[in-house]
Amino acid sequence: MTIPTLRADLEAARYRVDRLDELWGAAAGAALQRGNRVPASRALAASADPAALLARLFVLGESADDAELAAALPTLGIAGAVELGLVTVDGDRVHPLLDLRPYAFVDPHGAGEWWIASDLGELATGAALRVDHVLGVGGASTTLASLQFPDDVESVLDLGTGCGIQALHARRFAKHVVATDISRRALDYARLNAELNGVDGIEFRLGSLYEPVAGERFDRIVSNPPFVITPRTPGVPEYEYRDGGLEGDALVASVVAGAAEHLVPGGTAQLLGNWEYRWNADGLERAADWATDAGLDVWVIERDLLDPARYAETWIRDGGTRAGTAEFERMCAAWLDDFARREVAQVGFGYLVLRAPDGTVPFRRAERASAPLDGVAGIGAHLSTALAARDRVAALDDDALLAIELTVAPDVTEERSHWPGEPDPSVIVLRQGGGLRRELKVDAALAAVVGACDGELPLGAIVGAVAQLLDVDPDAMRPAILVELRELVADGFLLPPGA
């Protein structure tokens, strides 16, 4: 009963995101995000609130008086905290053994909040991470959570579950989730987090990649795989949470290829990954080829592109090695040697959406994000809706497309720029407020057609009226503009009936 007891004590202590924000304030919270815990520590030290003590221990990694912890967890007590592996006791002081913090989110099922346990990070320990470190919720975690399709399904595979955060999110949309990992420590954390938050329906299995689910198929696969490109050089740490043990981007390629054998027809996968730009190959197209070669539909979205030095610096710091040290420079040289040997000029990072064939018109899309996507919520819902809309339109010939009514998506706006004194715009831009936040330059004809798409008039009538307004031949205008309109549906700017 110790985990339910811990949950009850955390609830009683109001150990929640909004409460911690109140206790340390906006400025200290922002400093904490930047890796500076001093302002938060000073703010919490002045508070006798139980939530402040818990945050000092399990977020900032500070020690505390045992009487303080006993007061903050009155039902669990010190003995229960030791039994659960939360703390170790040294005299009258307790020291944290893990990171345990509240995590809040909003998805199509509404708002929610969990407590997530993981290993203490470099900010709390002041040392480089252990190679079997179990990562908590970070930027990649929240990105993949947002990327998950929100459609309800029977089964989901969370490949490489880590602390279990994706499995918890997936369970909100699936009746059954299988969560796998090669790390026993990660699975122990994932089980703890599921039980601590009262989430059932998740089965945890130990093993590498798809080995624990051989012969099984799922409606959806989600994965933040250990995609980080790490040189296979002695002395370079191989962190379990990010290094899959293969050279270059072969790990992500294998995850994509394996999805073909583990998705039901029409099943989808949402993954994060890296792909290499080699001197003779475009990385984005290479990533799309992985899926095409496996017989899968694919939509690849590249969010970032880094040169070898920036890539190496990012992941060396991620492991807790500080810039300017001899160890940092040694590892950086190893990374750059590896990239040079394999003729890698850049590394892309982004999202892959895969689908197993099910009789719908196949698709292959590879694009670079035109706007920053950090912190954008609901990308998965946007992509799921856009994909369904694209399927519907792709199945229509031009005559059938002209017969339906399209509607401008509610997040789309139009901006027109004029040269001073000129009545006609020099530039017309359509913008998405959500989703991938695309910005598209369009001509006057396409802007006029889109502006008239209110769900009331068939597309054919709109195209004809715009052609007459612009004094052009509608038969000459129609083929090119229909190609553009199909793309606008696939991009989520326009919605077909019922979308």
Contacts of 208 (CB under 8 A, 6+ apart): 182
Tokens representing 327 are: 């160890």
Check if the beta carbon of residue 102 is closer than 8 Å to that of residue 17. Answer: yes
Residues 481, 285: Cα–Cα separation, whole Å: 27
Residues 139, 185: Cα–Cα separation, whole Å: 21
Which CATH code of 3.40.50.720, 3.40.50.150, 1.25.40.10, 3.30.70.260 fits the domain covering 104-391?
3.40.50.150
CATH for 394-495 is 3.90.930
Tokens representing 295 are: 């017989």
Characterize the bridge pairing of strands 93-96 and 99-107. Answer: unpaired
The DSSP 8-state label assigned to residue 74 in this structure reads: T
Instruction: For Cα atoms 221, 227, 230, give the angle at the middle one, nearest 5 degrees.
Output: 165
Query: Residue 33 half-sphere exposure, CB side, CA atoms within 13 Å?
Result: 10
For 88, phi then psi, to 5°, come to -120, 150
For 246, phi then psi, to 5°, come to -110, 165
Residue among 246, 242, 269 at smallest CA distance from 158: 269
Residue among 101, 44, 90, 83 at smallest CA distance from 65: 90
Check residue 375 and give its pLDDT: 65
For the chain, which residues make up each domain, given as ranges?
2-97, 104-391, 394-495
Would residue 474 be called left, alpha or beta, if left means φ above 0 and alpha means ψ between -120 and 50 degrees? alpha
Check if the beta carbon of residue 490 is closer than 8 Å to that of residue 385. Answer: no
* 3-state class (DSSP) for residue 66: helix
- Taking only the tens place, the pLDDT of each residue in 85-106 is 999 999 999 999 999 999 999 9
Check residue 128 and give its pLDDT: 76
Locus of tokens 């000092």? 56
For 4, phi then psi, to 5°, come to -60, -35
Contacts of 52 (CB under 8 A, 6+ apart): 23, 44
Check residue 244 and give its pLDDT: 79
Tokens representing 420 are: 């001073």
Contacts of 239 (CB under 8 A, 6+ apart): 129, 131, 133, 226, 228, 319
Contacts of 183 (CB under 8 A, 6+ apart): 132, 134, 162, 240, 241
Sheet of 218-223, strands arranged across: 202-206, 174-181, 153-159, 218-223, 263-278, 344-355, 297-306, 364-368
CB-CB neighbours of 359 under 10 Å? 8
Low-confidence ranges of the chain (pLDDT < 70): 1, 375, 499
Residues 465, 34: Cα–Cα separation, whole Å: 55
